[in-house]
Structure 1
Amino acid sequence: MPKVLISDKLSPAAIEIFRTRGVETDVKTGLSPAELRAIIGAYDGLAIRSASKVTKELLEAAPNLKVVGRAGIGVDNVDIKAATAHGVVVMNTPFGNAITTAEHAIAMMFALARQLPEASASTRAGKWEKNRFMGVELTAKTLGIIGCGNIGSIVADRAVGLKMKVIAFDPFLSDKRAVELGVEKVELPELFARADFITLHTPLVDGTRYIINAAAIATMKQGVRIINCARGGLVEEAALLEGLQSGKVAGAALDVFEVEPAKENPLFALENVVCTPHLGASTAEAQENVALQVAEQMSDYLLTGAVSNAINVPAISAEDAPRVRPYMELARRLGEFAGQLTQAKDGVITHVTIEYEGAVAQLNHKPLTAAALAGLMAPMITGANMVNAPVLARERGIEVTETVHDRASEYQTLIRLTIATKTNTRSVAGTLFAGSKARLVEIKGIPVEADFSRHMLYVTNQDKPGFIGRFGATLSDAGINIATFHLGRAAAGGDAICLVSLDEPLPETVLDAVRALPLVVQATPVTF
């Protein structure tokens, strides 16, 4: 039974989902980093919100950890690079609080346009300053949206309903999607120049940090209003303060800050600033939704291998997982087989080509490629898995090519893995028998049909009379029983392959004897 730790406060309904699905669950909130490190080694999964920090040090103390689930969209508190290096899947819940956050941005825009917080405070203080709080209408104003993904698109929809003119900057926004949303797609400088209101809905990464800074503000309309309900650090607060004080920026509505919790900030002293304490996702519905979603996602992964809303690994839906799993196993075994042969030859891998033919060509091949690379890397790097294998390949300068063939295959489905080193090229291919049983069908272009067995011996030799007898006698004399025996050759008298399954590991002394036989070119033990 997989075991999950919930280290931040989640809805009790999420805990019930874990337990109903058969996942053992512990709830221990408010732990210090040292306390969390002390116990994390016992868990397969970690469910968090924003309080717990998943650092490199925590991951190093978590040898059994397979998945981190963030109940919410932001993963600033997770070291994604370190998690990937440790083979840990990182999931978030990008849809659970999208509506809530979008609604908060709209609410902040209204509050900013009509100076509602200051007007409320003034009225409650016994004043009646009707002439002091002169607002502006949203109708016919131009709203510039930076980031038009899950949340930004909802904001766009609501703003179009308010009869605003909506323009959007998002490198990933297609022309078709822009038309569907009723927004005009523009570049960032044009957005700055045209927008009456600007709202941010983009992650905080190196390319978006201080996307609104002094230079950007200088190009904006006089009297622009800025809303940030996304991430602190998207807006340079010192530049914003200067813009507000000079009148270039008529007002700002901020739910997030560069330093949180934000208990002291020069912006708080300005009347034309609306502030809330990171409330974007703070509705009962959103808290419930993200908690339930993360529990379902983590349970699916731990119990079935399904991957959804992952930051660092290809997605596999719960419906596709049972169908894809046998193909992933085939890809992994082909990678392991090729990796062990390549390791034995001490070759430095420069290129990996993975070909998909037949039924497998119709599947999502990204997780299959990750599984093949994991198998390939496993003999060389301890801890390699389908999460970190693509990164490991890139770090080692290995070029990976995926090819999907529409052509008919000799087999109903076929995966071929070709490994190129500086001195050699080797290919292995496999198929599924009976829909789920992985089987080798080709090595170095030579047809050889064999099951993947726990202990195997791979031998290449010259195709000459007498080899099989001497080889069999060598194993027999050593008391080694052959479970299965498979042969293949390129041409009569040319290169040949012998692949045998054994009941036990082959002792080094026997392996040396096989390698010393006449006609033997290579003899490599392979284990699965």
Structure 2
Amino acid sequence: MAPKVLVSDKLSETAVQIFRDRGIDVTFDPSIGKDKDKLLEVIGQYDGLAIRSATKVTEKVLAEATNLKVIGRAGIGVDNVDIPAASKKGVIVMNTPFGNSVTTAEHAISLMMAVARQIPEANESTHAGKWEKSRFMGVELTAKTLGVIGAGNIGGIVCDRARGLKMKVVAFDPFLSEERAAKLGVTKVELDELLAKADFITLHVPLTDKTRNILSAENIAKTKKGVRIINCARGGLVDEAALAEAIKSGHVAGAGFDVFEVEPATESPLFNLPGVVVTPHLGASTTEAQENVALQVAEQMSDYLLTGAVQNALNMPSVTAEEARVMGPWVKLAGHLGAFAGQLTDEPIKAINILYDGAVSEMNLDALGCAAIAGVMKATNPDVNMVSAPVLAKERGVQISTTTQDKSGAFDGYIKLTVVTDSRERSIAGTVFSDGKPRFIQIKGINIDAEVGEHMLYTTNKDVPGIIGTLGGTLGANGVNIANFTLGRKDAGGDAIAMLYLDAAPTDNALEALRGTGLFQQVRPLEFALG
């Protein structure tokens, strides 16, 4: 059955058509995004939800979203989505961070020019029939120093445009490498140095606990007298009241703001101040940008629902369509390894350690790790998936570690998963053969070659005669047919294991009969999701 997607905000008809062309059953009804009750009523029918900013995806909405797998936000900001609640629910949240980058960067440059030359005020004066040429004395941008706070995608474009205007550019960004700074042609500095040197400051960082009020009253006081400040990123990055006072005192010469701490902004300390240019969050408001982000979110959501490819997700590692195709069997293997360890572990888990050997160590390890953790966690929470599993593990205080190594054995690559509890460690390793089928290759340090089936039986015992006969005879007497049978041992007479692939789950009578023989230390039925 085709996946179902609800488009609850205004997206272009071209974007909606992308869903249709990809074979997705799409409902396009922008009125639903503004009707909370209607959204709650219908959301349970859909696998995907495509939104802009009007639809509010709250914890209450997610509780009713029984089939939802992905939320796609056409744009950058996801303030209207409860991402922690979506993660717990196992719903991927995607945005389109690059579709409006150029548009937002151009708006920042436009505001900088407008502030520098007092264009809005001069425009208003001239329309009023005045000719106040001497009143509007501006400043040039050429040879001025632009301080860019945040040199990521949008900030990087601003740096490029500013250099084209012959400005000197300094950038503060903890994640900016020297190589990237050199490529952008900017000087990497600490924040205090930027504040002291910049004639213009523009912000291009997300709003986080670390960036909130990054231009506080204290930091505004550190700026160069006559500085002009531009914010097209997020409201809350600048203390608006402190900036207003600095403008009134003459320390700051002007400001250009497209975003505000409270939006819609019907009032602000910055309103009606001389030298201040304000716009109503127009950074992404161009025909090209609106179309780009709509098309991008439709493609991303379609790719995920049809191929498993994950792009621009905020709560899940990205996986390209090619990676999804190549890694599919390995993702299944990682899940099976986790499921084995999870079903055999009856006490709280302290740590999950994952070793990637050989060829698999070059793959997308974040995605493989999520699959393995999900496999472990499903033993106690069947609804968990690759999105919600890391959240659940963190909530339980489970430490996750990852190790890679070059090819070390007979296999081109393998994954080894170890679960640690207070009393023991349990390890299992597996690989994917050329037929694309996952295999278990080692349990408890004992080498085996076991195909993974939906219904399996795992036993441990001492290596003594009669084990095979006892297993076969007891299961047969209880109507359980064996599809595949794998044995392994460390040494003759030492520890031994068996993995049996069964046509159906073993009955309670069969399990009790095996345990009653006194030959087995463990008799554990296992279930694996093969789909």
The bucket for the TM-score relative to the shorter chain is over 0.9
- The answer to whether the 8 Å contact 2:407/2:413 transfers is no
Question: Partner of 2:30: helix, strand, or coil?
Answer: coil
TM-score, normalization by structure 2: 0.97
Cα shift at 1:339: 1.0
Residue equivalent to 2:421:
421
1:253 to 2:256 alignment = yes
Matching residue within 156, 159, 163 for 1:160: 163
What corresponds to 1:296 in structure 2? 299
Deviations 1:150-175 (A, max 9, x none): 00000000001111111111111001
Q: Residue by residue, what CA displacement relative to the aligned partner does 1:396-455 show, whole Å, maximum 9, x if unpaired?
A: 222212111113431122111111211121111111122411111111111121111111
Matched, 1:50 2:46: no
Distance 2:55 2:92 in 1: 16
Partners of 1:470 and 1:438 lie apart in 2 by 28
Residue 474 of structure 2 aligns to a residue whose secondary structure is helix
**Matched residue SS, 1:267:** coil
1:176-235 CA distance string (max 9 Å, x none) = 100110111111111111111110101011111111111111111111111010111111
- Kindly provide the amino acid, as one letter, of the partner of residue 329 in structure 1: K
1:237 matched to 2:240? The reply is yes
Map Cα deviations across residues 52-79 of structure 1 (whole Å, 9 max, x no partner).
Answer: 1121111111121111111111112212
Q: CA-to-partner distance for each residue in 1:250-271, whole Å, 9 max, x for gaps? A: 1111101111111223422212
Q: For each residue in 1:493-517, what CA deviation from the matched residue of structure 2 results, as whole angstroms up to 9, or x when unmatched?
A: 1111111122222222221221121
The correspondence of residues 309-348 of structure 1 with structure 2, limited to 5 A, is 309-342=312-345, 346-348=346-348
**1:446 and 2:446 correspond:** yes
Residue in 1 that maps onto 2:277: 274
Aligned to 2:294, what secondary structure does the other structure show?
Answer: helix
Q: Would you say the 8 A contact 1:438–1:451 is kept in 2?
A: yes
* Residue in 2 that maps onto 1:114: 117
Query: Is 1:4–2:5 an aligned residue pair?
Result: yes
Structure 1 unaligned blocks of 5 or more: none
Instruction: Return the letter of the residue paired with 2:439.
Output: R
Residue pair 1:102, 1:151 contacting (<8 A) in 2 also:
yes
Partner of 1:192: 195
2:478 and 2:509 in contact (8 A); partners too: no
Query: Within 1, Cα distance between the matches of 2:409 and 2:364?
Result: 18
1:92 paired with 2:95, answer yes
> Counterpart of 1:458 in structure 2: which amino acid?
Y
Q: In the alignment, residue 368 of structure 1 is paired with which amino acid? A: L
Aligned to 2:386, the other structure's residue is in SS state: coil
Q: Find the aligned partners of 1:89 and 1:211 in 2 and give their Cα distance.
A: 30
Q: What is the alpha-carbon distance in structure 1 between the residues aligned to residue 83 and residue 169 of structure 2?
A: 34
Structure 1 window deviating more from structure 2 (437-446 vs 24-33): it is: 24-33
- The residue number in structure 2 matching 1:461 is 461
Distance in structure 2 (CA, Å) of the matches to 1:37 and 1:196: 50
Alignment of 1:57-136 (within 5 A): 57-136=60-139
State whether residues 359 and 407 of structure 2, in contact with CA within 8 Å, keep that contact through their aligned partners in structure 1. no
- 1:210 alignment partner in structure 2: 213
* Correspondence for 1:387: 387
**Alpha-carbon shift at residue 473 of structure 1 (Å):** 2.2
Please list every run of 5 or more consecutive structure 2 residues that lacks an aligned counterpart in the other structure: none
Determine whether 1:286 maps to 2:289. yes
Structure 1 residue 384: deviation in Å? Answer: 1.3
* Alpha-carbon distance in 2 for matches of 1:347, 1:516: 24
Query: In structure 2, how many angstroms separate the alpha carbons of the residues matched to 1:472 and 1:406?
Result: 40
The equivalent residue for 2:397 is 397
Q: How far, CA to CA, are the matches of 2:281 and 2:369 in structure 1?
A: 40
Tell me which residue corresponds to 2:16: 15
Secondary structure at the aligned position of 2:367 is classed as helix
> Using the alignment, how far apart are the partners of 2:408 and 2:21 within structure 1?
45
**CA distance in 2 between partners of 1:190 and 1:7 (Å):** 46
Trace 1:132-147 onto structure 2 (pairs within 5 A): 132-147=135-150
Shift in alpha-carbon separation, 1:247–1:30, aligned structure 2, 3 A: farther
Distance 1:288 1:77 in 2: 20
| TM-superposition CA deviations, 1:303-361 (whole Å, max 9, x none) | 1011111111111112222111111111111111111111xxx1221121211122212
Instruction: Give 1:457's aligned amino acid.
Output: L
Aligned equivalent of 1:523: 523
Which digits, 9 at most, give the CA deviation of each residue in 1:333-392, with x for residues without a partner?
1111111111xxx12211212111222122121111111111111111232111121222
Residue identity matched to 2:14:
A
| Secondary structure in structure 1 of the residue aligned to 2:465 | coil
Equivalent residue number for residue 201 of structure 1:
204
Q: Deviations over 1:17-71 (max 9, x none)?
A: 1111111111121332222122111111111111111211111111211111111
Supply the distance in 2 between the matched residues of 1:507 and 1:30 (Cα, whole angstroms). Answer: 53
| Aligned counterparts of 2:211 and 2:9: Cα–Cα separation in 1 | 28
Q: What CA distance in whole angstroms lies between the structure 2 residues aligned with 1:435 and 1:120?
A: 71
User: Aligned partners of 1:471, 1:287: CA distance in 2, in Å?
Assistant: 65
> Is the alpha carbon distance of 1:351 and 1:417 closer, same or farther for their aligned partners in structure 2, counting shifts above 3 Å?
same
Q: Which residue number in structure 1 is paired with residue 174 of structure 2?
A: 171
RMSD: 1.2
Task: Specify the code of the residue in structure 1 equivalent to 2:15.
Answer: A
Q: Distance in 2 between matches of 1:439 and 1:165?
A: 59
| Aligned AA (2:377) | M
CA contact (8 A) 2:240 2:268 kept: no
* Matched residues, number: 525
- Cα distance, 1:405–1:294 mapped onto 2, change above 3 Å: same
Per-residue deviation, residues 291-310 of structure 1 (Å, max 9, x unmatched): 11111111111110111111
Secondary structure of the residue aligned to 1:5 is strand
Partners of 1:328 and 1:367 within 8 A in 2: yes
- The one-letter code sitting in structure 1 at the alignment partner of 2:420 is A
Letter in 2 for 1:493: G
Q: Is the 8 A contact 1:471 1:517 kept in 2?
A: no
